[in-house]
Copies of this chain bind each other. A is one copy, B any other.
Amino acid sequence: MTRLTPHPDRLFSANPVERDIARRLYSEVASAPIYSPHGHVDASMLVANEAFADPASLLITPDHYVTRLLHSIGVSLDELGLRRNGGEPTASGRSIWRQLSTHWDLFLGTPVRYWFESELSEVFGLTEHPSTANADELYDELVEKLASDAFRPRALFDRFRIAVLATTDDPADDLAAHRTLADDPTFAGRVVPTFRADRYMLPTESTWLAKLDSLASTSGIDCGTYVGLLSALRARRTAFAAAGGTSSDTGVIDAGSEPLATADAERIHRAGIDGSITAGDAAAYRRNMLYQLAAMASDDGLVMQLHPGVLRNHHRPTFDAYGPDTGHDLPDATSFSRPLAPILRDFGTNPTFRLVLFTVDETTFSREIAPLAGFYPSVYAGAPWWFLDTPAGIARYRAAITDSAGFTKTSGFIDDTRAFCSIPARHDMSRRSDATYLASLVATHQISEDDAAGVARRLVADIPIQTFRLG
């Protein structure tokens, strides 16, 4: 059994000059409040404020970062608590925890291990690394902690010093949970919705018609026509803004944004409804919708977050059995400058419009995202995302982005997590990684330490506040 003691200098350079600078820079921001402008925590969890059920369903089963790597060595998703064909989970929380503990070494060198170490130590106070030998003992310790009031969602929210938490929400969501939280005098946290309309852009998806119905029901606007759908989306954006929302999010397979004439879009919309739509028309419809969402953002000022280039549900048999978000969404080669030309031509210099670009194809950092952010007032270079949200990924991002876009045109960190308890660990990793990068610039006399400290402070406050209009 080895001691679980995350080192106070972790991620800082081994070079003593750089390490000492990084320490000082990090100390400026280590305990700063957390702005989380993009994530997948459920607002209703904070409304209910119930104790978490058990360690596995909190820390393992819903976190595809964790389950995918265990799956990659042959642990089945059943053994990790996922529901096959909508049935009940067949693995107990304890057995799921044992899988993680037994395969603890699998995660060596990965951010999952890094986050877990910080989280288990600093949030849960564990003092030993998980192992086959201590799996049951640690599980019992976690169960006991989770039952206490100090580990309820709102208590953790406060303890984590979360200044703003943005959720991700369907346009058809009535935002009741957000209203309840805002109206609750006993909860001081700021929890804001984010408008995510992906499903409405995909008329060949099996869920599209149901989505239109659902949106019509919430908005009171018929979505049987394309023009109706646009009106409903606009109305819901207004409602999201009224509920404190400052941004939208969009995930698409590519960033194509060629607008269609209304008549063409109507025709494709009808073909989507009657099931006669072609693949080419569906792609044209999606690209037009991206353009229309940008047009709305240029009108209403909701910050447009864009995440293109992910092949969703790559392994069809796993999707059929366990559903989406089960670890086989995979990055694709992607691009920004060409496909976004229509949007940027029409809205790129409008002060109301703001576009934050995220990628899982890191070739686009120096080739497209930084050059775009370094010219267009509307464009910001989104933080390294998903597979790239790692110490090495952050280092490559900063090295690739800073040359052409500096720091001011970067978004600040986003954690993008559904793992609530990992939020502080993720932000801490980002702060340490940025301190390390800045220290390298200082130690090589590219910027002064005073300037670096100013940048470090702005990266965790002014920059996310301004980028996501949270002020």
Q: A residues touching B (Cβ–Cβ < 8 Å)?
A: 2, 6-7, 9-15, 17-18, 68-69, 71-74, 105-111, 113-114, 311, 314-318, 327-328, 330-333, 335, 337-338, 341, 344-345, 348-349, 351, 360-363, 366-368, 370-377, 379, 387-388, 390-393, 396, 399-400, 402-409, 440-441, 443-448, 450-451, 454-455
Is there contact, CB below 8 Å, between A387 and B404? yes
Most buried by B among A107, A111, A402, A403: A403
**Docked complex Cα distance between A366 and B15 (Å):** 27
In the complex where A15-B14, A328-B375, A375-B72 touch, is A315 in contact with B366 (Cβ < 8 A)? no
Say yes or no: B17 contacts A375, CB within 8 Å.
Answer: no
Contact across chains for A393 and B403 when beta carbons are under 8 A apart: yes
Residues of chain B within 8 A (CB-CB) of A111 are 403
Cα A194 to Cα B295 in complex, Å, equals: 45
- Separation in Å of the A167 CB from the closest CB of chain B? 26
Q: List 7 A-B contacts (CB under 8 A).
A: A9-B444, A9-B445, A10-B445, A105-B451, A111-B403, A315-B349, A333-B367
User: Top 5 closest A-B pairs, CB basis?
Assistant: A7-B445, A14-B443, A10-B445, A390-B403, A109-B402
Taking a contact as CB atoms under 8 Å apart, the answer to whether B367 and A69 are in contact is: no
A10-B444, A14-B17, A367-B362 known; A69-B374 Cβ under 8 A: yes
Determine how many copies of this chain the complex contains.
3
Give A349 to B314 CA distance when docked, in angstroms. Answer: 12
Asked if B388 and A109 sit within 8 Å, CB to CB, the answer is: no
Choice from B9, B318, B371 contacting A330 with Cβ under 8 Å: B371
Within 8 Å by CB of A366, from B345, B349, B393, lies: B393
Given A108-B455, A311-B337, are A330 and B404 neighbors across the interface (CB < 8 Å)?
no
Query: Do B15 and A15 touch across chains, with their CB atoms under 8 A apart?
Result: yes
Instruction: Tell me which residues across on chain B come within 8 A of A362, comparing CB atoms.
Output: 363, 366-367
The distance from the CB of A469 to the nearest CB of chain B, in whole angstroms, is: 14
Residues of chain B contacted by A446 (CB below 8 angstroms): 10-11, 109, 114, 391
CB pair B367–A360 under 8 Å, yes or no, is yes
Min C-beta distance of A26 to chain B, whole Å: 13
Complex Cα spacing A391 to B444, Å: 11
Given A314-B337, A327-B375, A403-B387, is A444 in contact with B108 using a C-beta cutoff of 8 Å? no
Cβ–Cβ contact B108 & A317, under 8 A: no
Q: Given that A109-B407, A314-B344 are known contacts, is A445 also in contact with B387, CB under 8 Å in the complex?
A: no
CA–CA, A368 and B349, complex, Å: 34
What separation, in Å, do the CA atoms of A405 and B112 have in the docked complex? 11
In the complex the two chains form, what is the Cα distance from A176 to B235 in whole Å?
Answer: 65
Taking A7-B445, A14-B18, A68-B374 as contacts, is the C-beta distance between A315 and B344 under 8 angstroms? yes
Contact A315–B109 (Cβ < 8 Å): no
Q: CA separation between A360 and B10, bound complex, in Å?
A: 33
Residue of B nearest to A334 (CB): B367
- B407 A400 Cβ-Cβ under 8 A: no
Chain B positions within 8 Å of A114 at CB level: 446
Contacts of A9 in B (CB 8 A): 444-445
- Give, as a whole number of angstroms, the nearest-CB distance from A23 to chain B: 13
Question: Which of B6, B15, B109, B348 is the one whose CB lies under 8 Å from A406?
Answer: B109
Say whether, besides A345-B315, A406-B107, A377 and B14 are in contact (CB < 8 Å): no
How many Å lie between the Cα of A315 and that of B343 in the bound state?
Answer: 10
Min CB–CB distance A305 → chain B (angstroms)? 18
| B375 pairs with A367, CB closer than 8 A | no
Docked CA distance A375–B373 (Å):
33
A427 to B435 Cα, complex, angstroms? 29
CB-CB under 8 A from A372, the residues of chain B are: 330
Contact indicator A409/B14 (Cβ below 8 Å)? no
Which of B14, B327, B338, B447 is the one whose CB lies under 8 Å from A108? B447
Residues of B within 8 A of A71 (CB): 375, 377
- B6, B363, B409: the one contacting A363 at CB < 8 Å is B363
A367 touches B361 (CB 8 A): yes
**Bound form: Cα–Cα A178–B211 in Å:** 63
CB distance from A17 to the nearest CB of B (A): 5
Inter-subunit contact A345/B316 (CB<8 Å) = yes
Q: Are B387 and A371 in contact (CB under 8 A)?
A: yes
> Which residue of B is nearest A365, CB measured?
B362
In the bound complex, what is the Cα–Cα distance between A302 and B70 (angstroms)?
Answer: 23
A111 CA to B366 CA in the complex, in Å? 14
Among the interface residues A6, A376, A404, which one has the most CB atoms of the partner chain B within 10 A?
A404
- Taking A2-B448, A114-B446 as given, write out 15 further A-B residue pairs in contact, using a Cβ cutoff of 8 Å, ordered by the A residue number: A11-B445, A14-B443, A14-B444, A69-B374, A69-B406, A74-B351, A109-B406, A109-B447, A311-B337, A315-B344, A315-B349, A316-B345, A330-B371, A363-B367, A387-B404
